[in-house]
Each structure stands twice: as C-alpha cells, then as structure tokens.
Structure 1
Amino acid sequence: MESFSTSMDLVQFIGKLGDLKDEHYHLLLVQSALIELMIDKGVFSRQELDRKMAELDRLMAGSPYPMA
C-alpha cells in the first residue's frame, strides 16, 4: 500500500470505509422501509415499482452521453 504515507493513514482510511458501509446500510434500510410503507398505503403497487425500476435500468444501461 504505497499510496498511504503512514500506517495511521491506512487505519484512518479503513475506519472511513467502515463508516461508509454503515451509512450505506442505514440508507438502504430507510429506503426499503419507505417503499414498503408506500406500497402498504396504496401509493403505488409492487408491480408499478418493478416496471419503473426496469424502465430506469434500461435508461441507465445506455450511454451516459446523449447522441444528437
């Protein structure tokens, strides 16, 4: 790990990575809870969510640069 000047830099980097992992888990948990609540309350159905996810996935699979 030549890019880290000291062992302490490496320890701090690993700590930050662990914090990001925890934050990512928490955000996904909140997102999942919100989606489930909206489905339970009839805001949208699971099928509508699946269709929208597929639509967005198709859009993201293309080039990130629009072709003129």
Structure 2
Amino acid sequence: MERYTRYTPLQEINLAAKLADLRAADYHNALFLSAIIELLIEKKLLTREELQAKAQQLDEQPFAGGWTLADGCSPWDAR
C-alpha cells in the first residue's frame, strides 16, 4: 500500500513557489554557463569538439554511488 502525504493548501502553494524558484535558478545557471562557454570558444581558449569530448568523458565516469549519467539512472532511483 502506498502512502501519500497530505498537504494543506498553504503548504501546496509554498511547494509550488519553491519549485518556481528552483526552475528560475536552473534557467539562470544554464544561461550563465552557456555565456561562459561561448566566450571561451570566441576567445579560442577551447573548441566545441574539446568541450564535447570532455562532456562525454565526464558522462562516462561513475559517481560516488557507482552510477553514471550514461546508465540513465541517478542516486535517487530505487535500487
């Protein structure tokens, strides 16, 4: 039998607001990272190919729990 947590309307509003804040922070972080990458490429400090190769290398490295992003799982998945 599954358990569900019941929230009051105010708690639900607070959760929705927190989610909105996280989404906004994620957007701004992605935008900032994209700007840094573009500047590094424009200044010829790295190439897109080098960046793609490094991303592939990091994607294949296992994290502390032994999982990789390439596995399509995360440490939060049920084991």
Do the structures match in fold with TM over 0.5?
Answer: yes
From 33, 36, 54, the counterpart of 2:35: 33
| Equivalent residues in 2 for 1:1-68, closer than 5 Å | 2-4=5-7, 6-60=8-62, 63-64=66-67
Q: CA deviation at 1:63?
A: 1.7
Percentage of pairs with the same residue: 35
Which stretches of structure 1, 4 residues or longer, exceed 6 Å deviation after superposition?
Answer: none
TM-score (normalizing by structure 2): 0.71
More helix by share: 1
Give ranges in structure 2 of 5+ residues lacking alignment.
68-79
Give ranges in structure 1 of 5+ residues lacking alignment.
none
> Which amino acid counterpart does residue 36 of structure 1 have in structure 2?
E
Deviations 1:11-64 (A, max 9, x none): 011011001101100100000010010011011111110110010011147925
RMSD, aligned CA: 1.9
